[in-house]
Amino acid sequence: MLNNVKVVLVGTSHSGNIGSAARAMKVMGLNNMVLVAPGCEVDGQAIALAAGASDIALNATVVETLEDAVKDCALVVGSSARSRTLEWPMLEPRECGEKCAAEGQQSQVAIVFGRERTGLTNDELQLCHYHVCIPANPEYSSLNLAMAVQTIAYEIRVAFLEQQKQNFVPQAEGEYPRHEELEMFFEHLEKVMIDTQFISADQPNKVMSKLRRLFNRARPEQQELNTLRGVLTAVEKKMGSR
């Protein structure tokens, strides 16, 4: 299960943070690191701060966009402070660990961490099914990147060990679509809504943002998503026959 957990670092600007995050991961049994458009290289400082976990940093997958990093993942959780402007399903770290451990039994999952100074953008956060917020001291909530990775990685390991202790057998659940397939559905949905003039082609974002939140909260299974795509296709055929 632990091999199915991706730790995705977006726009990391200091190489030492990559090394420290690798160390935090390896201590908890995670080894799958993905770097999205890093602003630095895995250099000597990264290797030094990895302290024996340099293999994780050196073998990290490097991609250009967050979409590329999570396209094969059935569950994507973004690390975020609680936002008043972007309402999204929130998880506590313990809930996040349990959900990753459960879904990681049968599919790839990703935990996404943003830039050291600015975190994740709203567009990046909207690519996540859930957000996780670490309930730090409100009077001093300054967590560095490696601390955040360590906290969430610890919760995933605790949940994993609890599964092992209870001889966990995952319940039969429907297969969830990969992130890439979900994005194709959103593109199809937007196209049909524009074609039916439900939304304006030059201002689709407000409605699409709400619908993304709706479907991410609902977590449609693969068959359910196929049904929704079928409905959209039927609407297109009906429009074309007029």
Consecutive sets of 10 residues in the chain, 242 residues long: mean pLDDT of each?
Answer: 97 97 98 97 96 96 98 95 74 96 95 94 94 91 92 97 78 80 95 92 84 92 94 92 66
CATH code, domain carrying 60: 3.40.1280.10
109 plus 213 within the same structural domain: no
DSSP string, 172-194: P-PPPPPHHHHHHHHHHHHHHHH
206 plus 102 within the same structural domain: no
155 plus 206 within the same structural domain: no
Total domains present in the chain: 2
Question: For the whole model, what pTM was predicted?
Answer: 0.84
Using the 3D structure, point to which of 119, 142, 167 is the last residue of a domain: 167
Residues 6 or more apart whose Cβ sits within 8 Å of residue 223? 174, 175
174 belongs to a structural domain:
no
